[in-house]
Amino acid sequence: MGKDSDIDYGRIVHYILIAIVAGALLWLNYCNFQEHISSNNALINNYSPKEDEMAKYRNPVVAGLFYSSDAQSLSEDVENYLKTENRMSSYQPQILIVPHAGYRYSATAAAKAYASLRNFSDKIRNVILVGPSHRVAFDGVAAPSVDYFKTPLGSVALNREIIQEMHSQSGVRILDKAHAQEHSLEVQLPFLQKVLKKFKIIPLVYGNVRAEEVVKVLNPYLHREDTIIVISADLSHYYDYETAKALDKITADLVARNEADVDEHLSCGAIGINAALILAKENNFRPEMLDMINSGDTAGDKDSVVGYGAWSFEKNKETEPQTELEKEVANLKSFTENYGETLLNIAEQSVREAVIEHRKYSPARDDYDNALFDKGAAFVTLTDKNGDLRGCIGTIVPNQGIAKDVAGNAYRAAMEDNRFSPVSEKELDGLNISISFLTGFERIRYMDEADLLTKINQDIDGIILRDGNRQGVFLPSVWKQLPQKQEFLNNLKIKAGISPSYWSNKIKVYRFRTVEIKKDEN
């Protein structure tokens, strides 16, 4: 055979080896790629779920029907409704009654109610929404199990803590199907999203239930300054225009008198309205009608209309019953009118004897009226001729006759306040003396620090803060130097020996009031 027919086996082996190596490399690359795409870099022992992975949502069901499903259009619509209403309430409403129809028909009335909340947008943190069930029959009052209600404007969180309280204390049931297709609460949310800043909702739908049972659910939250109750209710249905006006006037007259006698043929939310009227009558709330219209006024057809009303219920400032602290303030004012000047003289004598004679003055019963030896608690405050603090010592619990309490605290303010050197004799003529008489204490219940701040009455409350064996006390007069609530609380923490950034829900907080008298005013 010739050379051309010879087979070059060496070259063939060479090519085979190259093919084997290339195949092996491709296989290894493939395996590495498969391993890479089947695994993440993160470790499972570092896993934590994303916030929204664990949350449950209730999606809107009437967006695009009762109101726009487009976020921008909805925002503009609600803002335009609110712009037409310039009423700004001086007092925070306790309860609102609002309609729940399509915005085309009822939003002008609803806007008048929601506009009254604009002055309190920083204060209101919880909105209890109460409406009738239109689609699901059930007994009692129902809350959902979800964490958020969605609208085109975003998500609104539910206050699960309050819902749990209602569930355990007043028998509110958890029933998602009652909320799934219900519009009476959903239509309120875009207005709330526009007028409030940071809030949570407690959505309640009622079925077959008495108004008194709804009152039982709502009553514990009625006087919380961070909470408002919104009752969702339309009025008469499908009468001609004039008949509807006459029937809705009956409802308006009942509301004006706080008479819980609204019949179901007068309103699809009669039970909620009656619950509001019971609460209003029991608590002396003053109803104010904000608007009364029907669909004939807004949509044009007057042959068969639906009525809509909006009301606000506020505390009646003229006849509002006094709290226990307010009663004690009135009693202290009466006491100081009779004995204030004498007690200021006792304080002055105690300071003078401390500074000049270096002794403690103790008032004798023979020298003073017997009433001055009733137990009382007071702070004595000393300021110099420039108005600067020179000493302040007091008692927070009554444990001795008020004359002795004032004399002892005057001595300690002059000589033993460790923030200052003892008062000198040359300072006496320019020294001003004031006495603050303390009421008893009222425990402030709160959910967290933010909730506590909403419950403190600025410029009025004195506050005691206790954390274990640490305690801080600020008189109401401190508000003059620390006018902001957070600043006031942070400085009170510092006084108690606590970091201003620290918080624990085990901290106990009490409020009290004072009646102050001054030597230079007598």
| 470: enclosing H helix or E strand | strand 470-474
Domains of the chain: 52-315 (3.40.830.10), 324-436 (3.30.700.20), 442-521 (3.30.1490.150)
Pairing of strands 200-206, 141-143: antiparallel
Least confident residue range of 123-132, 174-183, 441-450: 441-450
pLDDT computed for residue 30 by the predictor? 66
Closest among 47, 118, 42 to 78, alpha carbons compared: 118
pLDDT value, residue 4? 47
Section 383-389 average pLDDT: 91
Residues in the chain: 522
pLDDT tens figures, 150-171: 999 999 999 999 999 999 888 8
| pLDDT of 235 over the 80 cut | yes
Phi/psi of residue 51, each to 5°? -55, -45
Q: 């129902």: which residue's tokens?
A: 142
SS3 track for 105-168 = HHHHHHHHHHHCCHHHCCCCCEEEEEEECCCCCCECEEECCCCEEEECCEEEEECHHHHHHHHH
Q: Which two tokens stand for residue 424?
A: 């000198």
Evaluate the CA torsion angle 106, 112, 113, 117 in order and state its sign.
Answer: positive
Q: What is the DSSP letter of 490?
A: H
**∠ CA(500), CA(501), CA(507), 5° rounding?**
75
Helix (H) or strand (E) holding 77: helix 71-83
Residue burial 274-297, b: 16+ Cβ < 10 Å; e: rest: bbbbbbbeebebbbbebbbbbbbb
Q: What is the mean pLDDT of residues 256-281?
A: 94
- Is the pLDDT reported for residue 223 higher than 60? yes
- Residue 32 scores a pLDDT above 80: no
- % pLDDT > 90, the chain: 74
Task: Write down the mean pLDDT value for the chain.
Answer: 89
Q: Please answer whether residues 105 and 308 qualify as being in contact, where contact means their C-beta atoms are separated by less than 8 angstroms.
A: yes
Q: What is the rounded average pLDDT of the residues 32-55?
A: 50
With b for 16 or more beta-carbon neighbours within 10 A and e for fewer, the 327-362 pattern comes to ebbeebeebbeebbebbbebbbebbbbbbeeeeebe
For residues 481, 485, 491, 492, the Cα torsion angle rounded to the nearest 10 degrees is 110
Return d(Cα 229, Cα 224) in angstroms, integer: 10
Burial label, 40 (beta-carbon count in 10 A; 0-12, 13-18, 19+): exposed
Q: Identify the band that residue 254 occupies on the pLDDT scale cut at 50, 70 and 90.
A: very high
C-alpha 413/C-alpha 382 separation (Å) is 7
Q: Which pLDDT band holds residue 43 (cuts at 50, 70, 90)?
A: very low
Query: 159: closest CA among 147, 176, 141, 177?
Result: 147
Nearest to 135 by CA among 88, 199, 205: 205
Cα dihedral 495, 496, 502, 503 in deg (nearest 10): -120
If you write DSSP's letter for every residue of 343-363 in order, what string do you get? HHHHHHHHHHIIIII-S----
The string of pLDDT tens digits covering residues 5-20 is 456 667 776 767 777 7
Tens-place pLDDT, residues 398-456: 999 999 999 999 999 999 999 999 999 999 999 999 999 999 999 999 989 999 998 99
List C-alpha distances in Å: 243 to 205, 307, 308.
29, 10, 14
- Give residue 3's pLDDT: 46
**3 state DSSP class of 407:** helix
pLDDT, average across residues 491-512 = 95
Element (H, E) at 237: strand 237-239
Q: Half-sphere exposure of 233 toward its Cβ, with a 13 Å CA cutoff?
A: 33
Structure confidence by residue, pLDDT tens digits, 354-363: 999 999 999 9
Cα–Cα distance between 456 and 334 in angstroms, integer?
26
Alpha-helical regions (H) of 204-301: 211-218, 241-256, 270-282, 295-298
Q: Which residue has the tokens 């137990």?
A: 375
Angle CA(110)–CA(85)–CA(239) in degrees, nearest 5?
Answer: 40
Query: Between β-strands 227-232 and 95-98, what pairing exists: parallel, antiparallel or unpaired?
Result: parallel
- Tokens 């204390």 locate to 169
pLDDT at 245 over 90: yes
Helix (H), strand (E), coil (C) string for 276-300? HHHHHHHCCEEEEEEEEEEHHHHCC
* Torsion on CA atoms 432, 438, 444, 448, rounded to nearest 10: 20
**How do residues 61-119 score in pLDDT, each as one tens digit?**
999 999 999 999 999 999 999 986 555 555 789 999 999 999 999 999 999 999 999 88
Determine if the pTM surpasses 0.75: no
Q: What is the pLDDT of residues 297-343, one digit of tens each?
A: 998 789 999 999 999 998 876 555 568 888 899 899 989 988 999 99
